[in-house]
Amino acid sequence: MNVAVAAGPDLDTRLRIYRMMLEARRFEERAHQLFLEGLVKGTTHLGIGQEAVAAGFAAAMRSDDLTFCTYRGHNHTLLRGAPAGRLMSELLGRSEGVCGGKGGSMHLTWAPAGAMGSYAIVGAHLPIAAGAAWAAVERGTEQVAVCFFGDGTTNIGAFHEALNLAVVWDLPVVFVCENNLYMEYTPIGSVTAVERPAADRAAAYGLEGVVVDGNDPDVVYETAADALARARDGGGPSLIEAVTYRHGGHSRADPGTYRPDEEVRQWLARDPIPMYRTRLAGAGASEDQLGGVEQSVESWIEVAVEEAKAAPEPSVDSIATEVWADGGSRWRN
């Protein structure tokens, strides 16, 4: 099924979504720059180009809903409400980082806002999200768990185990496949038995196969709102395939040269942020409103970057903390 949106969200919501996408974009651009400056170590997996999925969902979710995402999770963690300065500090390995420098780019968590982790072993978080949804049912909290993952993840066992369990137990969980056409360097079509990696598997679990334009945040928002409401009302899980594209390579080590030039060109022309700006301008947003959002995001990111750069380095004493609930790491008496 292809979902088309007639009306779309109201202008306030759309401006909020526009701001979210811009925040995500600027955050990751700066993260990349800080990487090139040698301040972000290790690796990064940017979601530049995929912001509409994160923003559309984050705008539609309730504040106590739970997000589970992947190593490509800066956007999701940020847009659920993690403080930008502390998120950037985490990428810099500083003590003020959301995980005290113990997580890093691939493992961002901000539990106070329901960002319940970025998972870097492909597929692991699908059953975990189902479990969080199970607890929500048992505790009667009416929370929904939303689980984002890539197209490549549809070929690992945990995907299938989680979908089956979620359906059998009727759990309030929304599985969102961000189909960016590649699993690492391999085109998804060349390693997958069906054409639509997520949607074509839905029938096996009695679910509707939903494919949406993952670069259209209005469509994502409406689809999300629908799936969230259904889950909250006891209607069980959904599986949504949002087709999108990452502008860069898989990770900072990958220039992405395996992708045909024409394909890259076409998708860059469908960059969700300028497309959305044009739509909002046509839907009654004034230049002042749009420019206001843009200016405000520019200063917001400067503050976050400055905060991260100024953040103290972690004390090595913190190495041995938080293995156990008593705060320490002792395994013997």
Ligand X SMILES: Cc1ncc(C[n+]2csc(CCOP(=O)(O)OP(=O)(O)O)c2C)c(N)n1
Binding residues for another protein, per CB under 8 A? Answer: 66, 98-100, 102-103, 107, 109-112, 116-117, 119, 121, 123-136, 138-139, 141, 143, 145, 157-158, 161-162, 164-165, 168-169, 318, 321-325, 327, 329-333
Of the pair 110, 267, the CB lying nearest another protein is at 110
Tokens representing 33 are: 């720059």
Closest contact distance (angstroms) between CB of 151 and Mg ion is 4
Closest contact distance (angstroms) between CB of 182 and ligand X is 6
Question: Which residues, numbered 190-249, are part of the site for ligand X (CB under 6 A)?
Answer: none
Per-position x/- string for 38-67, each x denoting binding to ligand X as judged by CB under 6 A, each - no binding: ------------------------------
Query: Which member of 153, 215, 223, 238 binds ligand X (CB under 6 A)?
Result: 153
| Site residues for Mg ion per CB under 5 A | 150-151, 180, 182
Closest contact distance (angstroms) between CB of 10 and Mg ion is 32
User: Coil, strand, or helix at residue 120?
Assistant: coil
- Residue reference for tokens 């919501």: 13
- Give the C-alpha separation, 100 to 322, whole Å: 10
Task: Report the alpha-carbon angle 249-61-270, nearest 5.
Answer: 35
Q: What is the largest CA-CA distance in the chain?
A: 68
By the rule CB under 6 A, 151 interacts with ligand X: yes
By the rule CB under 6 A, 319 interacts with ligand X: no
Of the pair 15, 137, the CB lying nearest another protein is at 137
Q: Binds 40, which of another protein, Mg ion, ligand X, none (CB < 5 to 8 A, cut-off by type)?
A: none
Segment lying near ligand X (by CB under 6 A), choices 8-16, 146-154, 267-275, 278-286: 146-154
By the rule CB under 6 A, 180 interacts with ligand X: yes
Nearest Cα to Cα of residue 28 among 110, 88, 83: 88
CA-to-CA separations, 210 to 88, 160, 219, 254, 302, in angstroms, rounded: 34, 17, 12, 30, 39
Phi, psi of 179 (to 5 degrees): -80, 100
Nearest Cα to Cα of residue 54 among 20, 19, 4, 8: 20
**Strand 173-179 relative to strand 238-243, pairing:** parallel
